[in-house]
Structure 1
Amino acid sequence: MRVLAFVVPILFALSAEQCRAQEITRIGILADFSSVTSDGVGTAASMALQDAPDRDRRFKVETIWADHQRKPDIATSIARRWIDTEKVSAIVVSGDSGVSLAVAGVTGEKNVLSIMSDVALLPRERKAPTFNWTSNDRLIGLSLANYLVENGHKNFSIVAPNTASGTALAKATSNVVTGLGGNIIEVSNYSWQGSWSGLRASAPDTTVVMFGYFLNGILDQIDDQKGRLRLAIGSPFFLTDIDKIGRSRLECAIFATSFYWDANDATRDWAKRFVNARRDRSTVLPDMIEAGIYSAVRHYLRALLEARDSNVDRVAEKMKQLPVDDFFAPNGRVRANGQLVHPVYIVQVKSKNDIRYAGDILKVLEVIPGIAAQEAACGTPCPKKGACPQSSDQPDCPCPKGNACPQK
């Protein structure tokens, strides 16, 4: 007993010393919980922690999360509190580009690393490392436009919000369509309050490309013209959106996404792990946000452990040096400008008769390799599709100077 009495205090002393040596690293996750649940976000982050273990026990990693409610003022208030009082080392933002840009301003001011899910073009002048990870309107919308024209869609009606970003997306989409030989029948705008003059397209087999989130008014018109108008959704779109709107109203609609749980064996295996790991025992399948959060948190942790240092610049440099290569971004890499190169899936909502099992919601029409999707996001077709090397690091377009996509 005397031996045990001697040994136990030493073990406790070692444990205390080990705890003192550990650096506490907190990762804050801001998401739109109208599209995801906090348990789903927490599950994805917890899985990332498990899959990037700190074998040297140098870091004690914790995750916290909150709902930004798609409001920049709420998001920036949370970010400031996290940085000032919770001492977060990195913030991951998902679900709204306006929120992401607002938080990027705070993290830049505070010199904290940030990972944005959905900012099309990151600010050129950045005071702290910022990464774009999961999706954005430009990557998704212009990849979709390329696919549609190359697969027989000729006449287009573009519907976008009457904001600066909406106008820019409509113009970029028009450039892609006409550059590949398609026709723009009309471009119409709506306000965020839902004020909209409606569709006027009269050409047969018109494809309506919708940007933003005001779908119901457009669907009302398409419901009346089924067989003549086809729907394509150019903004990031989620499985929960299909449930909210109703699958019957969206049958055969085409959109692009950075993740679909049933796309391949790797995505299916991760989705199964995700469902089994959920503490609320929900059977709701993961979507693009949860998959992107897992990938971003895992890669950040790998870089942190490789750098053996929590210095923001050294961790950011490691993030760019290390390959990503997970189910979300197979053979992926982070470009010098902070953009993750990952594939984009062109998918179509299945009709009721085509559904084979629970969760069988989408049909994968095409998988666009990461660098080809980056080319599409330039805004006009590259001179030769697939010609741009993955190692190219131009800020806004992956093509090399001698074969560059237009920057405007």
Structure 2
Amino acid sequence: MKAGVRQFLIAASAAVIFPCAANAQTAAISDDVVKIGVLTDMSGQFSHESGEGAVTAVKMAVEDFGGKVLGKPIEVLVADHQNKPDIASGLARKWFDVDHVDMVANLINSSIALTVSQLAKEKNRIAIINGSGSSRLTNDACTPNSVHYAYDTYALARGTGSALAKDGKRSWYFLTADYAFGHALEADTSAVVKAMGGQVVGSVRYPVETSDQSSFLLQAQSSKAQVVALAGSGNVLVNSIKSAQEFGIPQGGQTLAGLLVWITDIKSLGLSSAQGLVLTNAFYWDRDDETRAWSKRFYDRMKRMPHMGDAGDYSSTMHYLKAIQAAGTDDAQAVMSKMREMPINDFFAKNGRIREDGRMVHDMYVYEVKKPSESRGDWDFYKLREVIPGEQAFRPLKDSVCPLVRKG
């Protein structure tokens, strides 16, 4: 073959190959933008556990990443689901079908997280859950498109339940919020209590939006159980702890156990009311130099210290964007593969990893709320009782019914 003809054929081949490569590179980011939707409670009883804090944390991660990934802009959308699964489903469906949102973040309220994570699977998008706790999200309701990041009811039960059982608190009575999160928290904690030789002497379920828990607390008081376990969250939890103090429940020798307590709850209660509470958490702003540095930045924006939901929203968003960068695309399955492959090492978690069931495994911490005399200042609320290694904190895969789990 003559040299001139050979050069022509090479040039022609390049003309075919390189446009295809260019087109593939352009198509790596769908619609030329990565869209993250923060679906949260902006105005209801869980807004102090999510809401503006979740939005701020996600936006901080996007800004720290540089505002672009693979040369394309990152946009953050925000919506208030009003704690109604039908509204949340409608918003998420519109985001996926019309607005082409790639990842939905936060998802406070377990009923909503369970609904939206299934929708993300259907639409082949990604859901990252930080606000909600139901361990069903990585058990029977797991999906290949969702990640449960900060905490879950299994870890809360494992930490607080075992800590109080070790203190000799063996009889329990549950005040349980009547929705998916409360049910899971009661079930997981009951299992821990019974495994350690304790017993559940009774339980009562209250409407999630109830404003008066007096009758429920009186039932718990009359049970004479050593532990009155509050399997709920939000403003109702704060009010129930205040009411329990007024009824003299802890003064009568019963221990109050807040099974999900946020640092914003302690701020609302004050140390005089909250002192002595034992709680399990994924994050505390004053844990080390890294947590203090990031928390100061968050505080400058929100004028409050962050909790584990805020820290988890930042960390998971950053991990998601790093996975897009590593995958070279925002395709959901390619990104999920990279998220599972890449370890998580930041101020939130060390050597964290996302398992095949979607559970992000990391250390959990058991804290006790300080007495007023022990606190050195504002937001100095916790003293560490125990560190639970990640492999012990979360449900073992051998016990999982998640269909994605391969068992030997």
| TM over 0.5, shorter chain | yes
Deviations along 1:154-199, one digit per CA (max 9) or x if unpaired, are: 3332322355764554344233213213343433333433563621
Q: Contact 1:335–1:393 at 8 Å: present in 2 too? A: no
Q: Contact 1:344–1:369 at 8 Å: present in 2 too? A: yes
What is the CA-CA distance between 1:241 and the residue it aligns to? 2.1
Asked whether 1:240 is paired with 2:264, we answer yes
Q: Contact 1:209–1:232 at 8 Å: present in 2 too? A: yes
What is the CA-CA distance between 1:219 and the residue it aligns to? 4.5
Q: Which residue is equivalent to 1:25?
A: 34
- Give the superposed CA RMSD: 3.3
Using CA pairs under 8 Å that are at least 6 residues apart, name the structure with larger relative contact order, 1 or 2.
Answer: 2
Q: Which residue is equivalent to 1:35?
A: 48
Q: Which residue is equivalent to 1:120?
A: 135
More helix by share: 2
User: CA–CA distance in 1 between the matches of 2:240 and 2:110?
Assistant: 23
Q: Which residue is equivalent to 2:360?
A: 340
Asked whether 1:178 is paired with 2:185, we answer no
> Judging changes above 3 Å, is the alpha-carbon distance between structure 1 residues 203 and 56 closer, same or farther for their aligned structure 2 residues?
closer
Q: Which residue is equivalent to 1:8?
A: none
Question: Share of identical aligned residues, percent?
Answer: 32
Name the SS for the 1:88 alignment partner: coil
Asked whether 1:188 is paired with 2:188, we answer no
Q: Give every structure 1 segment of 4 or more consecutive aligned residues whose post-TM-superposition deviation is greater than 6 Å.
A: 18-22, 399-402
> Judging changes above 3 Å, is the alpha-carbon distance between structure 1 residues 287 and 311 closer, same or farther for their aligned structure 2 residues?
same
Alignment of 1:3-402 (within 5 A): 23-33=32-42, 34-36=47-49, 39-53=52-66, 57-117=70-130, 118=132, 119-122=134-137, 124=140, 129-162=145-178, 166-167=182-183, 169-192=185-208, 193=210, 194=213, 196=216, 198-200=219-221, 203=224, 206-213=226-233, 214-215=236-237, 216-217=239-240, 219-223=242-246, 224-227=248-251, 228-235=253-260, 237-276=261-300, 278=301, 282-374=302-394, 377=395
Gaps of 5+ in 1: 1-17, 379-387, 403-408
Work out the number of aligned pairs and report it.
Answer: 365
Deviations along 1:10-35, one digit per CA (max 9) or x if unpaired, are: xxxxxxxx999973101111122321
Name the SS for the 2:113 alignment partner: helix
Structure 1, 32-41 or 365-374: larger mean CA deviation? 32-41
> Judging changes above 3 Å, is the alpha-carbon distance between structure 1 residues 78 and 364 closer, same or farther for their aligned structure 2 residues?
same
User: CA–CA distance in 2 between the matches of 1:25 and 1:400?
Assistant: 32
> Judging changes above 3 Å, is the alpha-carbon distance between structure 1 residues 373 and 58 closer, same or farther for their aligned structure 2 residues?
same
> Judging changes above 3 Å, is the alpha-carbon distance between structure 1 residues 328 and 127 closer, same or farther for their aligned structure 2 residues?
closer
Q: Contact 2:266–2:381 at 8 Å: present in 1 too? A: no
Amino acid in the other structure paired with 1:189: R
Q: Contact 1:108–1:126 at 8 Å: present in 2 too? A: no
> Judging changes above 3 Å, is the alpha-carbon distance between structure 1 residues 275 and 76 closer, same or farther for their aligned structure 2 residues?
same
What is the CA-CA distance between 1:139 and the residue it aligns to? 2.4
TM-score (norm 2): 0.79
TM-score (norm 1): 0.79
Gaps of 5+ in 2: 1-24
Name the SS for the 2:204 alignment partner: strand
